[in-house]
Homo-oligomer: A and B are copies of this chain.
Amino acid sequence: MDPKPETVSAKTPKTERGRRTLRALLNAAAEEFGDKGFHEASISSITARAGVATGSFYVYFDSKEAIFKELVRDLSGQVRDSVAPRLMAAPDGLAAEGVALGAYLEFVRQHKEIYRIIDESEFVDPASYREHYTNSAARITARLAAAMERGEISPGNAEVRAWAIMGMNVFLGLRFGVWGEEAVDDVVQEASQLLARGIAPVKG
């Protein structure tokens, strides 16, 4: 269940010991960045958490930015992968978006630090940030386009809708996943309804 090894691009270790150290650094970095944010985080704190010497860090990463970037890619994949399986179960393209919101809210609540790290990438490595949200939007757009195709939702600009839906999800995630502790079912239902009526196929 370890996060995909293929996402680890930089300086792939050749020995088993090396792989362990790399993994330890990545985990330590997730903790450190989640706790303190990028700028307050320090390499020496990361290596301390990982139980290795300062210098060892540079065996695996070129810079603080590099490990952060690596991490964002890793986490971005985790967010995606946590939603995907739930989507399979959705009866149709309209329902799918409600399911996706529910899955996202749950994930966010369980991994608040991931939300934070990804968001901070806007100011650390804008390209990663943009990539993350652009990818997300592209996936939603594709789903919507397919559903339109199938007549499950009304015709319209799929990309605009995708960004609108993603924004909805993210802010509901912030308010009811990261900040709030209240039950989430009502939120999902209310939002699903808004969405359903909003993009449901036009009858008659």
Contact = CB atoms under 8 A, between A and B. Distances in A.
Interface of A: 37-39, 94, 119-120, 122-123, 130, 133, 137, 144, 151-154, 156-157, 160-161, 163-172, 174-176, 179, 186-187, 190-191, 193-202
Contact of A186 (B160, B196, B200): B160
B164 A168 contact: yes
A130 B167 CA distance: 17
Given A167-B170, A168-B167, A199 B161 contact: yes
Given A137-B175, A161-B194, A172-B164, A199 B154 contact: yes
Secondary structure type dominating chain A contacts:
helix
B196 A198 contact: yes
